[in-house]
């Protein structure tokens, strides 16, 4: 495997370092070693941020905020525009690193960097559209309006499966809003974080903006806790499992901070009698096996009308026989590896539980061995016929396991689709207007994302992204998600010579 892309991204040296560039200890325990799930080989190490280094990062961030907030929003947009340009330049090596360190297909690796570029473009436009409202005052000679100010330091915690895009969804928007960001990426993909930071540093240096505008810290949950417990961080944006989100939400709420949560999903597609089976097949197979089932929006349940259940079942089983599993950097393969052996064990355990709980295996799973599969992380996408109320079906297993469930009428199907703890993404396959509109109505899907004739995964940056219930309720990326990164202020100005009080209250003396 040619690893030249590491050098292009400034990662040629072992211990690629923190944003402070310091190497604090010599012991191996203070480094995260990154191994590729693609071939099991060592890629590099990153030093874990110490509490002392964290304090330095926070001090610099606090200082930087005082300067950055005074840049006009379009000036901040110009910096983000330049970062987007730099990403265009580094799209190929960064996409390769994402694919090699995380294990997603090369196309998806490039797609993730493209998503970063797209969010930069979006944020540049947004930098001239951070609108507030003007209201009519009930008092004479008064003007009332609201405006949005930056929060300060935004703490970003992100998951391994989108090791670069999720950070940019948050930070590019936060930057134009006038915030500064401290990012802790996943300990499973530490080099991706350092690579993004190296590219960011080029823009920082070219424009002579304070170093602390965008920083990274490295480590596992313990380093994440530096931020969640830190009162200097008014907003924590955390992406990851529901388990993590519950801990982060409680910790941040304990100090009355705000959190923006993007957590697990348990996404279903309802396949109706009137659906176009070609659309169903493409949307469902990509949704279920893309990124080896490691997207928060992965299709985990296919709820199929009983009249076409057997046809869909046969089509899906036959499509699965054509899947090529292997090195994700080889564009001929459809499915790459899981992130690590722990994920493989969780996949195997979920398959066992599915059978114990009454499921019937349609397409068998298993771990692949032999040439090309040396990392031990390659598994076969599986399909299990199941019931929606089986405990394992209610749970998000971050692997390519699809549950097939029959339904008799659409209301029941919608109830089943909603009857899980999570509420991220959902879809209906139908050519029937009434069915589509019912699904989209307030009596329909309870998810943050509801699609018609599209699978559950692959959202565009222009819409607000996020979900309800145990998915955490946060919204990131497009639409007016920027409001989560700013504080709202209502202003009333009296330009008259009297001081009339609201609600007609008299106070004369
Ligand atoms: P994870 O919860 O194990 O870790 C996510 C991040 O949280 C990591 O950086 C980790 O170090 C940090 N963390 C964990 N515990 C913490 C704590 N107590 N305090 C502070 N930080 C803590 O998740 P993962 O395995 O990396 O990613 C997979 C999960 O992420 C899936 O559940 C997936 O659905 C979810 N996800 C959701 C979205 C979304 O937008 N809804 C997007 C991507 C991934």
Task: Evaluate the CA torsion angle 79, 85, 86, 91 in order and state its sign.
Answer: positive
Q: What is the pLDDT along the chain (509 residues), one digit of tens a residue?
A: 889 999 999 997 554 444 433 344 455 558 999 999 999 999 999 999 999 999 999 999 999 999 999 999 999 999 999 999 999 999 999 999 999 999 999 999 999 999 999 999 999 999 999 999 999 999 999 999 999 999 999 999 999 999 999 999 999 999 999 999 999 999 999 999 999 999 999 999 999 999 999 999 999 999 999 999 999 999 999 999 999 999 999 999 999 999 999 999 999 999 999 999 999 999 999 999 999 999 999 999 999 999 999 999 999 999 999 999 999 999 999 999 999 999 999 999 999 999 999 999 999 999 999 999 999 999 999 999 999 999 999 999 999 999 999 999 999 999 999 999 999 999 999 999 999 999 999 999 999 999 999 999 989 999 999 999 999 999 999 999 999 999 999 999 999 999 999 999 999 88
**120, 181, 296, 377: which one is catalytic?**
296
| Alpha carbon nearest to ligand 1 atom 12, residue | 221
Question: How far does the centroid of ligand 1 lie from the alpha carbon of residue 59, in Å?
Answer: 26
Instruction: Report the CATH architecture of 267-460.
Output: 3-Layer(aba) Sandwich (3.40)
Rounding to the nearest 10 degrees, give the CA dihedral for residues 428, 429, 432, 433. Answer: 40
**101, 262, 396, 435: which one is catalytic?**
262
Pairing of strands 486-494, 142-150: antiparallel
Question: How far does the centroid of ligand 1 lie from the alpha carbon of residue 379, in Å?
Answer: 22
How many angstroms separate the CA atoms of 271 and 281, rounded? Answer: 10
| Alpha carbon nearest to ligand 1 atom 40, residue | 262
Q: Provide CATH 3.40.605.10 ranges for the chain.
A: 24-263+472-489
Q: Provide CATH 3.40.309.10 ranges for the chain.
A: 267-460
pLDDT tens for each residue of 182-208 = 999 999 999 999 999 999 999 999 999
Q: In what order do the strands lie in the sheet with 134-136?
A: 134-136, 142-150, 486-494
Q: Could you tell me which residues come within 8 angstroms of residue 232 by beta carbon, excluding any fewer than 6 positions away?
A: 58, 62, 152, 153
Question: How far does the centroid of ligand 1 lie from the alpha carbon of residue 199, in Å?
Answer: 24
Q: Phi-psi bin for 15: left (phi > 0), alpha (psi -120 to 50), beta?
A: left
Question: How far does the centroid of ligand 1 lie from the alpha carbon of residue 240, in Å?
Answer: 2
Question: How far does the centroid of ligand 1 lie from the alpha carbon of residue 261, in Å?
Answer: 10
Ligand 1 atom closest to the Cα of residue 265 is 34
Tokens of 241: 């499992």
| Alpha carbon nearest to ligand 1 atom 30, residue | 240
296 is catalytic: yes
Question: How far does the centroid of ligand 1 lie from the alpha carbon of residue 239, in Å?
Answer: 5
Please, what is the end-to-end C-alpha distance for the chain in angstroms? 84
Instruction: Print burial letters for 368-404: b (CB count within 10 Å at least 16), e (below 16).
Output: beeeebebbbbbbbbbbbbebebebbebbbbbbbbbb
Pocket test for ligand 1, best of 108, 190, 240, 469 (most atoms within 8 A of CB): 240
The single residue listed with the structure tokens 């509109």 is 437
Q: Cβ < 6 Å from ligand 1: which residues?
A: 157-162, 184, 186-187, 220-221, 224-225, 228, 239-241, 244, 247-248, 262-265, 296, 396, 398, 424, 471
Which three-class secondary structure state does DSSP give residue 476?
strand
Question: How far does the centroid of ligand 1 lie from the alpha carbon of residue 241, in Å?
Answer: 4
| Alpha carbon nearest to ligand 1 atom 36, residue | 240
Question: How far does the centroid of ligand 1 lie from the alpha carbon of residue 351, in Å?
Answer: 22
442 is catalytic: no
Tell me the three-class secondary structure of 59-100, residue by residue: HHHHHHHHHHCCCCHHHHHHHHHHHHHHHHHHHHHHHHHHHH
Pocket test for ligand 1, best of 156, 224, 244 (most atoms within 8 A of CB): 244
Pocket test for ligand 1, best of 241, 254, 344 (most atoms within 8 A of CB): 241
Q: State percent of the chain over pLDDT 70.
A: 96
Per-residue pLDDT at 1: 80
Q: How many CB atoms lie within 10 A of CB 416?
A: 20
How many angstroms separate the CA atoms of 473 and 151, rounded? Answer: 20
Q: Give the CATH number of domain 24-263+472-489; options: 1.10.10.60, 3.40.50.300, 3.40.605.10, 3.40.250.10.
A: 3.40.605.10
Instruction: Print burial letters for 163-196: b (CB count within 10 Å at least 16), e (below 16).
Output: bbbbbbbbbbbbbbbbbbbbbbbbbbbbbbbbbb
Task: Evaluate the CA torsion angle 101, 470, 226, 59 in order and state its sign.
Answer: positive
Ligand 1 atom closest to the Cα of residue 472 is 41
- Mean model confidence pLDDT for the chain: 95
| Alpha carbon nearest to ligand 1 atom 39, residue | 262
pTM: 0.96
Instruction: Print burial letters for 235-256: b (CB count within 10 Å at least 16), e (below 16).
Output: bbbbbbbbebbebbbebbeeee
| Alpha carbon nearest to ligand 1 atom 10, residue | 221
């Amino acid at each position: 495997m040619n690893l030249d892309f590491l050098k292009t991204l400034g990662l040629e040296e072992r211990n690629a370092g923190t944003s402070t560039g310091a190497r604090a200890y010599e012991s191996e325990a203070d480094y995260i070693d990154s191994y590729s799930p693609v071939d099991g080989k060592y890629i590099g190490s990153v030093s874990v941020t110490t509490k002392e280094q964290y304090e330095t990062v926070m001090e610099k961030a606090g200082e930087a905020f005082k300067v950055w907030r005074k840049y006009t929003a379009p000036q901040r947009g110009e910096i983000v525009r330049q970062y987007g340009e730099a990403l265009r330049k580094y799209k190929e090596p960064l996409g390769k690193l994402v694919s090699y360190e995380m294990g997603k297909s090369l196309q998806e690796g490039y797609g993730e960097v493209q998503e970063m570029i797209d969010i930069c473009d979006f944020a540049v436009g947004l930098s001239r559209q951070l609108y507030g409202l003007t209201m009519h005052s009930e008092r004479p000679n008064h003007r009332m309006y609201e405006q949005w100010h930056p929060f300060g330091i935004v703490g970003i915690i992100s998951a391994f499966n989108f090791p670069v895009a999720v950070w940019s969804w948050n930070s590019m928007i936060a930057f134009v809003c006038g915030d500064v960001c401290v990012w802790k990426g996943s300990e499973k993909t530490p080099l991706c974080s350092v690579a993004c930071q190296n590219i960011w540093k080029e823009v920082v240096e070219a424009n002579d903006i304070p170093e602390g505008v965008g920083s990274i810290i490295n480590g596992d949950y313990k380093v994440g806790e530096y931020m969640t417990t830190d009162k200097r961080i008014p907003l924590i944006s955390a992406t990851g499992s529901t388990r993590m989100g519950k801990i982060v939400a409680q910790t941040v709420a304990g100090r009355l901070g705000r959190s923006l949560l993007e957590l697990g999903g348990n996404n279903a597609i309802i396949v109706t009698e009137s659906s176009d089976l070609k659309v169903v097949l493409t949307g469902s197979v990509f949704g279920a096996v893309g990124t080896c089932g490691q997207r928060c929006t992965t299709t985990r349940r296919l709820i199929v009308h009983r009249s076409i259940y057997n046809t869909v079942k046969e089509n899906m089983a036959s499509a699965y026989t054509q899947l090529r599993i292997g090195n994700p950097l080889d564009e001929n393969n459809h499915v790459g590896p899981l992130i690590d052996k722990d994920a493989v064990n969780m996949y195997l355990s979920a398959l066992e539980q599915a059978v114990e709980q009454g499921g019937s295996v349609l397409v068998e799973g298993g771990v692949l061995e032999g040439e090309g599969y040396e990392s031990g992380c390659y598994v076969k996408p599986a399909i299990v016929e199941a019931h929606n109320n089986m405990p394992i079906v209610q749970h998000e297993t971050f692997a390519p396991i699809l549950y097939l469930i029959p339904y008799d009428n659409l209301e029941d199907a919608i109830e089943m689709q909603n009857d899980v703890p999570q509420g991220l993404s959902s879809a209906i396959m139908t050519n029937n207007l009434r069915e589509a509109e019912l699904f989209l109505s307030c009596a329909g899907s309870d998810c943050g994302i509801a699609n018609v004739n599209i699978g559950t995964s692959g959202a565009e940056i222009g819409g607000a992204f996020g979900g309800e219930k145990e998915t955490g309720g946060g919204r990131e990326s497009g639409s007016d998600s920027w409001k989560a990164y700013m504080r709202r202020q209502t202003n009333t100005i009296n330009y008259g010579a009297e001081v009339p009080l609201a609600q007609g209250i008299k106070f004369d003396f």
